[in-house]
Amino acid sequence: MKSVLILQHVDRDSPGKYLESFARDGFVPTTVRLWAGEEVPHLASHDLMFVLGGPQDVWEEDKYPWLRMEKQAIKEWVAERAKPYFGVCLGHQLLADSLGGKVGLSDVGEHGVFNINIPHNPNPLVAGLSECHKVVQWHTAEVSDAPPGAQVLGSSEVSPIQVLAVGEHALSTQFHSECGAQSLMAWTQTPGYIDLFEAHKGKGSYKKFLRQAYSAMSEINTTSERLYDNLVSATKLVV
């Protein structure tokens, strides 16, 4: 059996729809609750690293000291071991920061359903994807400079670095590629999430967001599944 190491930054968060992909492909998940003080285990016994989103910012190491440990683990995993990596939202920003890129606050941020562009690129991590995709966004920080040697594979009007690749073994998305119907339900049931969303978008905006997300869910799922399938195929985790 293969092992996927999941780095979690907040209670109740999960890889969402990708849990089904892990089960289908024979991955046994190991979740590290960094927010609860758990430490990253020895990396050699795992095959895939999946880094979730969260409310933290990459520069808040004094407030969240475990971020230092996490960044070191990501750097070792991607740059030294060259093993398969998938990061979403904060996991996207942590990949960039760990490898020498820059992350800062966005002038606008994105909360809701937005379009991203993925131009044609020979990198197999974006094989089979058309140019325009609807995705779920929830972020106020963004990657402003990609790390040396990384490739920007996707962008939006607000955030130019939406999809990032390191070689053909590490992939990250600023948008919530893990977000399916299960994730939307979890967000809705988590205390404070609706208020947080509407603090950015206005009262009543969360219901509008849900309508848009459920309406576009088929397209959202297709894009997300293709990205995951491309990664596990390119890295020969699944043959």
CA distance linking residue 39 with residue 54, whole number of Å: 17
Q: Which two tokens stand for residue 12?
A: 């109740």
- Return the exposure string of 102-134: e unless at least 16 CB atoms fall within 10 Å of the residue's CB, then b: ebeebeebbbbbbebbbeebeeebbeebeeebb
Pair 171, 83: CB distance under 8 Å:
no
Backbone angles phi, psi at 59, to 5 degrees: -90, 0
Active centre residues (catalytic): 89, 176, 178
